[in-house]
Amino acid sequence: MVERALFRYKENSFLVGIGCESEFLLHSDLNWNALDTFLEKHEGRTLFTVINYQLGLDILSVPHAPNQLPLLRVWVPESTYLYESTTAYLLEGKHDEMHQKLAEAVFETRENAPTVQWKAKIDQTTYLERIQQLKEHIQLGDIYELNFCQLIESQPITLHSIQPFFNRMWELNPTPFAGMVETERWMLASASPERFIQKKGSKLISQPIKGTAPRGKTEPEDMQFRNNLQASPKERAENVMIVDLVRNDLSRVATKGSVHVEELCGIYSFPTVHQMISTISCELKEKMSLSEILKAAFPMGSMTGAPKKSAVELAEKYEGFSREFYSGSFGVIYPNMDFDLNVLIRTLVYDHQTKKLSCGVGGAITMLSDPQAEYEECRFKVDKILSLFGTCQW
Report the catalytic residues: 194, 210
In sequence order, which residues have a C-beta less than 8 Å from that of residue 244 and are 6 or more positions away? 306
100: left (phi > 0), else alpha (psi -120 to 50), else beta?
alpha
Return the sign of the alpha-carbon dihedral for residues 65, 47, 21, 189. Answer: positive
| Residue 48 DSSP symbol | E
389-393-394 Cα angle (round to 5): 120
If residue 266 lies in a helix (H) or strand (E), which one and from where to where?
A: strand 260-269
Question: In sequence order, what DSSP letters do the residues of 279-341 get, joined into one string?
Answer: EEEEEBPTT--HHHHHHHH-S-GGGTEESHHHHHHHHHHHH-S--TTTTSEEEEE-TTS-EEE
Which residues, in sequence order, are CB contacts of 28 under 8 Å at separation 6+?
67, 71
Beta strand 273-283 pairing with 260-269: antiparallel
Question: Could you check whether the bond before residue 176 is cis, i.e. omega within 30 degrees of 0?
Answer: no
User: For the purposes of burial, counting CB atoms within 10 Å of the CB of 91, is it exposed (0-12), middle (13-18) or buried (19 or more)?
Assistant: middle
CA 357 to chain centre: 16
Is 188 within 8 Å of 325 (Cβ atoms)?
yes
Strands 116-120 and 390-393: parallel
- Do 331 and 294 touch, CB atoms closer than 8 A? no
What is the residue-wise DSSP string for 99-154? HHHHHHTTT---SPPPPEEEEESS-HHHHHHHHHHHHHHHHTTS-SEEEEEEEEEE
